[in-house]
Chains A and B, each alone.
Chain A
Amino acid sequence: MIELVASTPCQGLLPLEHGPFTLTELTPGSLTALAPFSGQDAALSRALDAAFGLSLPDVGAATAGGSARVIWFGRGQYLLIGPAPVADLANVAAVTDQSDAWAVVRLSGEGADEVLARLVPVDMRPAVFGEGAAIRTYLGHMTVSIARDDDAKGPGYRIMAFRSMAGTLVHEIETAMAAVAARL
């Protein structure tokens, strides 16, 4: 009998530390893309509130309720992170399971925005990219989703790339972490 063992996208690559910067892998649970049908944004927001106690975020933002969060994921698209979707959502939105399709990492440490400044063509300074921000952009040559993900120690960034790009994602970020750390 063959025993299959699940492996995460960044298995064997993370965690990493360079100077004050830490890069860890997150295992977010279910990932579900939600694309509300025409005119159904408010209905989807109500369905999310009933199921998970959170509303649909604004453009470029995220909302959270308990262990669930929803991030803006493109025009007319949202990503439900954490819990499995409830059946009601499919009445008002196209619902697509994307679990295991994304590599999800967290970059943190004092000055982590300096690391991202080497990779991302958007201002990532905490004062500009505020709490609750969640955008789509580039990291190096990869399209990614980046969301503010703070903890008690300070600002952090949750970065998602296609699972097949996990090695490149880690390599790009580690190179920038080491380069910025070397200048401190």
Chain B
Amino acid sequence: MRIPCPICGPRDSREFTYRGAALDRPAPDAGADAWEDYVHLRDNPAGPTLDLWYHHAGCASWLKVSRNTVTHEITGAVLAGAEDKA
């Protein structure tokens, strides 16, 4: 499996560490239900997902990786937080 790092280019998945689902963090005052959902509850989708991966053996960036849990296809990767800086 290869992950297309936006900085390093396509690299073997052993260079990366998986963290978990890439979720939008609720606002600080979003309430206990929203925060419980964010911290503890996960969907288990069959199909496209967004994960966080860390390119520890390469450029040391956190990536948001699009992955299909049915086909195992990696469809893209962007720098985590890149959309926040626009």
Interface residues of B (CB under 8 A from A): 7-9, 11-12, 14-15, 56-61
Contacts and interface: CB of A to CB of B under 8 A. Distances in A.
A75 B59 contact: yes
Interface residues of A, number: 12
Contacts of B8: 59-60, 135-136
Interface majority SS (helix, strand, loop, mixed), chain A: loop
Closest 5 CB pairs of A and B: A121-B12, A75-B59, A74-B60, A138-B57, A143-B57
A137 interface: yes
Interface majority SS (helix, strand, loop, mixed), chain B: loop
A160 to B, nearest CB: 14
B20 to A, nearest CB: 21
Nearest to A120: B12
Nearest to A136: B58
A84 interface: no
A135 B14 CA distance: 16
Contact of B57 (A59, A60, A77, A137): A137
B64 to A, nearest CB: 15
Given A75-B59, A135-B58, A143-B57, A59 B12 contact: no
B14 A121 contact: yes
A96 B15 CA distance: 25
